[in-house]
Structure 1
Amino acid sequence: MSTVEPRRSEHRTVTRTARILELVSAHPGELRLADLSERLGAPRSSVHVLVRGLVSVGYLVEADGRYSIGYTLGELVRPSEMGLTEMLLPRLEAIRDATGETVTLGLFAGEFVVYTASAPSRHSVRYVPELRTRRPLLPTSIGKLLLATWPEERLRKYLQAHGSGDVEADLATVAVVRADDRAFNRGETLASVTAVARPCHVDGRRIGGVSVGGPSERVLPRLDEIDRTLAEVIGGNVESALAWR
């Protein structure tokens, strides 16, 4: 027991700290301690200890009882994909201009996908993704691209907990994604929206994907054409363009 419980506690602490930063980043200057405690489903006293520590190192700043991300965090914590969104945005816009539909960059965050950038369609009726919010891997097209990299034991366990209820059918779907190196979402998240996604790599590591999505009545008849455009613009040359380190 003495060797297991500390690890669980440490994992929970890391998870809560990460979620605090994510929540404050998504709602700068809005959330109080009570709000964070409620959204985390954690005791206020426990959240207060973590928040106080983040404030002490400058990762959070407090004003009138509400929290924002501190300038220190952006200056000292630099991700390995620093500048990824800025470097890829012209490509997202090029795909948008060629297809006419919304193009989204999604990065993997553990067993979730976070949409970090989007080039919105100029159509009045269009798909508008919510950015910087964790989404489950299924049924997103980008999430399926990550599942396709997992060994079967891990994949099967995940599908048993988070799949459609038919594990064998889900395994077959992921097998097709693995073989084709692309994934579709045909009305699985929103009944009227269809999307196709291709993976994005940096230094040989699959870090996320780029999807093109829109109203099914517009996208489905042009799905192969849209996928070809996506593959051409976001293909293998992206890795070399991003591997600047």
Structure 2
Amino acid sequence: MTVGQMLAKEGFAERYKQENPIFLHEFLYPLMQGYDSVMIDADVELGGTDQKFNIAVGRDLQRHFGKKPQFGLLLPILLGTDGSQKMSKSLNNYVGLKEDELSMYSKLEKTPDAIIKEYFELLTNLPLEELPENPRESQKLLALEIVSQFHGKQAAVTAQKTAEDLVKNKGTGATDAVPEYDLSKVEFPAKLFYILSASGLCGSSGDGRRQIQGGAVRLDGEKITDVNITFEQSEQLSGKVLQVGKKKFIKLVKA
């Protein structure tokens, strides 16, 4: 491989012209990934469209070592729930495959209009002509379809009803179906922003702080505005519903 070949990668040439740094590991990564194809005698390599260059490097290396280049099958990049960036846990714009049905439903129900069609195409088997004209109904159908794939139809229907009930009752109703979080995992005294992070309602303690500052956090329907609010013991929280925004809820329990 030559430096010229590496600079052919989208983004590298532009950065080079603008004299922006290109770090050595950025060159080595596609090279090492490509060499994987050589070592395992790959026939087919799957990857997102962002892996096109790396797969092409693998094909070149296969030829260099006298082997038949593998076929590359590229798949569209799945945008995250923010509708703008690649789905990623680090960006907190993801839907986890092992999430409970209510959490999964609540996230998918908020899918931005701009990517609804793409989600239906990539994640369901429903014909696009069957989609509701009303965007809100499309969001609900999308959430129902995907949750059904992972948790079954009945669980998806229950999650839908629970989500609707919780919004209507501002977090104080239908708590039996809300995912539970065991407070024994928390060392008290504890600040609320830490509990938000530990329970998974927020991506980090910093995110928890921001959500409280933004007025998005409620405890049993009551808005929390004190960023540094601290609870001395679990009994103060046990049995209550902790809410972030309109769609994310957990019931705090002590096992």
Greater relative contact order (Cα < 8 A, sep 6+)? 1
Q: Same fold (TM over 0.5)?
A: no
| Structure with the bigger percentage of strand | 1
Bigger CA radius of gyration = 2
- Could you state the TM-score of these two structures normalised by the residue count of structure 2? 0.28
